[in-house]
């Protein structure tokens, strides 16, 4: 094993847990980063699987931090607001994607500050309604990291999802959606799922727990994504194809990323005097 370090965007859910476990087999030190902002609930849930990782791979292999990105997130949502409103109109409501973009930008600052050259998360192709889990947007995020000498990877991106998941299961929303049936995620699957790999590693008690009560106890909850799904599924894509939605998302995020690459560069050159330093270090 090379004596290298890696940072992991860690929600505590099955995908980020598997990503962390896979990296623990390759890296000497794994820094788990859980992000907090207004609108997130039960963020302390992430600590449950941190302890499981330490029991499995050794307590000295992992660090875990909960970092507040509330001020940074608000800036990312609202920077150049009227210009973006004219150019992208109601597409500004894609707040779920911007939240994850805030996490990535803060992660770049974390890596620069700690001289970490590797990072990953639990992005998965099966949740591609969310911008940061679209393959085209993921490529742009990889390019953003690369400009600062950081290698970003998505080790569970190609994993299958368990069968029988409802929309509420996928979003970890419990009974927010009336009429949604209980998940059948615990049914054994032949597919290569994150749950299967976690069970094989001894980190989960069943083959698949996504959407289960245990799943809800492992990670933070965010009900704002209910509004996001209403916007995307029942407004924006009402008379548009997924491909049109993806193309519009990519254009929007390329614009956002280009703007923040400039700000990150200023942070790297003159950290204490930069705008991002003031936004990221307020907590």
**Tokens 């009560």, residue located:** 213
Say how far apart CA 135 and CA 157 lie, in whole Å: 9
**Tokens 């950081």, residue located:** 150
pLDDT digits (tens, 9 = 90+) for 264-276: 999 999 999 999 9
pLDDT digits (tens, 9 = 90+) for 52-100: 999 999 999 999 999 999 999 999 999 999 999 899 887 776 677 799 9
Going along the chain from its start, the domains and CATH numbers come out as: 5-274 (3.40.50)
**CA-based end-to-end distance of the chain:** 35
Say how far apart CA 216 and CA 194 lie, in whole Å: 16
Provide the pLDDT for residue 21: 97
Q: Of 165, 93, 98, give the one whose Cα is nearest residue 126.
A: 165
Provide the pLDDT for residue 148: 98
Count how many Cα atoms sit within 13 Å of the Cα of residue 170 in the half-sphere of its side chain: 18
The parts of the chain modelled with pLDDT lower than 70 are 1-3, 93-94, 163-191, 282-283
* Distant-in-sequence, close-in-space partners of 3: CB < 8 Å, separation ≥ 6: 28
Provide the pLDDT for residue 163: 66
Say how far apart CA 160 and CA 36 lie, in whole Å: 28
92: tokens are 């500004």
Provide the pLDDT for residue 257: 97
* Distant-in-sequence, close-in-space partners of 112: CB < 8 Å, separation ≥ 6: 148, 150, 264, 267, 268
């Amino acid at each position: 094993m090379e004596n290298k370090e890696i940072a992991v965007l860690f929600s505590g859910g099955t995908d980020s847990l598997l990503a962390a476990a896979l990296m623990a087999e390759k890296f000497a030190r794994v820094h788990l980063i859980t992000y907090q902002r207004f609108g997130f609930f039960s963020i302390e849930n992430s600590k449950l699987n941190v302890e499981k990782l330490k029991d499995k791979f050794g307590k000295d292999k992992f660090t875990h931090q909960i970092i507040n990105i509330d001020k940074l997130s608000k800036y990312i949502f609202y920077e150049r607001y009227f210009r973006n409103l004219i150019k992208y109109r109601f597409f500004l409501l894609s707040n779920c994607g911007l939240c994850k973009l805030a996490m990535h930008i803060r992660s770049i600052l974390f890596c620069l500050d700690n001289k970490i050259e590797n990072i990953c998360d639990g992005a998965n192709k099966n949740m591609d309604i969310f911008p940061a889990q679209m393959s085209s947007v993921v490529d742009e995020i990889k390019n953003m990291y690369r400009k600062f000498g950081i290698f970003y990877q998505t080790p569970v991106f190609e994993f299958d999802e368990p069968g029988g998941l409802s929309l509420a299961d996928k979003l970890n929303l419990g009974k927010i959606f009336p009429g949604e049936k209980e998940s059948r995620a615990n049914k054994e699957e032949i597919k290569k799922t994150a749950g299967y790999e976690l069970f094989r590693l001894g980190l989960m008690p069943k083959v698949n727990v996504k959407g289960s009560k245990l799943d809800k106890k492992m990670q933070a909850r965010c009900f704002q994504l209910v509004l996001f799904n209403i916007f995307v599924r029942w407004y924006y894509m009402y008379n548009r194809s997924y491909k049109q939605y993806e193309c519009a998302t990519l254009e929007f995020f390329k614009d956002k990323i280009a703007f923040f690459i400039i700000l990150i560069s200023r942070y790297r050159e003159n950290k204490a005097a930069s705008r991002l330093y003031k936004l990221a270090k307020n907590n």
